């Protein structure tokens, strides 16, 4: 493991909602211990306005968030990641770039709030649920005694986090 802070990358296909929300949460709750980033295999080009609205309503500064390709982080000179988490099933099934430093990986798939249909209240609830699920996982992750766990135990704990309540089908499969 690298010296503090640990660099963490959250991946999703579009990098417009879940991965952005996870990046925001970890940068807030893990400040000083973690530095979070997010990216997508096929970025949508803009952050979902419902994600921005939710984060702003919770007091997050959203000015620096943008939808970007994971290719940006595969280039020389970019941060070396200690952890890479996929938060959608599509990204988990895709061939990811080779990340320098052999980061620990896990799939933390949750339902895509950007796919929510219905009234504005129902859509807002889908985003709140995604936030709640990611916040819960990230809270458990940040509480792990990372330096005292061996690689195998840590990898198992990361996978267990991905199988928590609200996980998508791929996240609950044995890996």
Indicate whether 1 pLDDT > 90.
no
Indicate whether 2 pLDDT > 60.
no
The residue assigned the tokens 């000083």 is 32
Domain boundaries defined on the chain: 6-169
Active site residues: 12, 88, 96
Q: Does domain 6-169 have CATH number 3.30.565.10?
A: no
Range name among 27-36, 58-67, 86-95, 127-136 with the lowest pLDDT average? 86-95
Per DSSP, the residues of 75-127 read STTSPPPSEEEE-SHHHHHS-PPPPTT--EEEE-----GGG--SSHHHHHHHH
Rounded to two decimals, the pTM is 0.90
- Which residues, other chains included, contact 82 with Cβ-Cβ below 8 Å and sequence gap of 6+? 1, 2, 6, 7, 8, 101, 103, 104
Dump pLDDT digits (tens) for 91-147. 555 556 666 677 999 999 999 999 999 999 999 999 999 999 999 999 999 999 999
pLDDT at site 174 = 44
């Amino acid at each position: 493991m690298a010296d503090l802070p640990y660099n963490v990358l959250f991946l999703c296909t579009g990098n417009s909602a879940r991965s952005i929300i996870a990046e925001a949460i970890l940068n807030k709750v893990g400040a000083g211990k973690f530095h979070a980033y997010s990216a997508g295999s096929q970025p949508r080009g803009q952050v979902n306005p419902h994600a921005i609205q939710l984060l702003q309503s919770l007091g997050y500064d959203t000015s620096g968030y943008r939808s970007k390709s994971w290719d940006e982080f595969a280039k020389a000179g970019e941060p070396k990641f200690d952890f890479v988490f996929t938060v959608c099933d599509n990204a988990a099934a895709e061939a990811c770039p080779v990340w320098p430093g052999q980061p620990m990986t896990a799939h933390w798939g949750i339902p895509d709030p950007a796919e929510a249909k219905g009234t504005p209240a129902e859509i807002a609830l889908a985003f709140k649920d995604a936030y709640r699920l990611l916040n819960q996982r990230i809270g458990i992750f940040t509480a792990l005694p990372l330096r005292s766990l061996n690689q195998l135990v840590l990898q198992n704990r990361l996978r267990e986090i991905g199988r928590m309540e609200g996980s998508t089908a791929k996240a609950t499969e044995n890996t």
